[in-house]
Amino acid sequence: MKKKQKRRTGELDRAADASAATPLDLVRAIAAARAAEAAQVAVLPVAPAPIALAVTAGRSLRERVRARTGTVELLIFRVGRERFGIELVEVEEAIDIPPVHHVPEMPQSMLGVITVRNTLTSVYSPTLALGQAIEDGTSALIFRRGRSRIAILVDEVDDVSTLDLATLRDAPALDAGDGLLLGVVRRHDALLALVDADALLAACQAEPLLEIA
């Protein structure tokens, strides 16, 4: 009988303690319990990510081209009579060219500036870089580098295509020296040249050397 009375007294004491707890105490208790569960989950072993996937994710297009592995989404554009492909993720947008305004003392390699989303953007011609003269110049590829936008004038923006890098062939030796052309591939009975975005921008912005008589 005494044991039953003691047990009953213990239950009443715990009930009294629970009823005496404030809402804030209950919230803290729940939070502590959840933190303990989270700590247990955090120490559980996690399966490592596949090494090949981690390596591929950090590889540049140039490295993937050398290995001839994987695929790349290309934006196809035309300059003169030739078509070129550039990695799609490198291009912020492709637009119809708005009016180009000349600015005083601008670099010789620069055509002028245009307004893109209320921001003045420098426009460059790819003629010297790609060896093709602009014919219509009705479109522009917009690139973002840091806080600046750079526009490259082109004749036409074609479409988006997936390229299997295993089908890519080496660029001609004369064109491979500056690293601009990463390779060529046959597309619709014509050759398509794969262009490195950074090398294209650098070549378009480079000042032409003056010829000395």
At residue 73, the pLDDT reads 96
Residue 50 is predicted with a pLDDT of: 40
Phi, psi values for residue 135, rounded to 5°:
-100, -65
Q: What is the pLDDT of residues 6-32, one digit of tens each?
A: 454 444 444 444 444 444 455 455 556
In whole angstroms, give the CA distance from residue 36 to residue 25. Answer: 16
> In the chain, which residues have pLDDT < 70?
1-58, 173-178, 208-213
pLDDT at residue 187, as a whole number: 86
pLDDT of residue 36: 58
C-alpha to C-alpha distance for 169 and 29, rounded to whole angstroms: 66
pLDDT for residue 34: 58
The DSSP string of 77-141 is EEETTEEEEEEGGG-SEEEE----B--TT--TTEEEEEEETTEEEEEE--HHHHT---SS--EEE
Tell me the β-bridge partners of 169: 184
Alpha-carbon distance of 74 to 142, in angstroms, equals 15
CA distance 192 to 128: 18
How far is residue 177's CA from residue 170's CA, in Å, rounded to a whole number? 12
For the entire predicted model, the pTM comes to 0.69
CA-based nearest residue to 196, from 132, 157, 143, 159: 143
Residue matched to tokens 């809402």:
23
With CA atoms as reference, report the closest residue to 161 among 202, 198, 132, 190.
Answer: 190
Cβ pair 70, 58 in contact under 8 A: no
The boundaries of every CATH 2.40.50.180 domain in the chain are 71-205
pLDDT single digits (tens) 119-142? 999 999 999 999 999 999 999 999
Q: What class, spelled out in words, does domain 71-205 have in CATH? A: mainly beta
For the purposes of burial, counting CB atoms within 10 Å of the CB of 145, is it exposed (0-12), middle (13-18) or buried (19 or more)? Answer: exposed
Six-digit token string for 195: 């262009």
3-state DSSP assignment of residue 41: helix
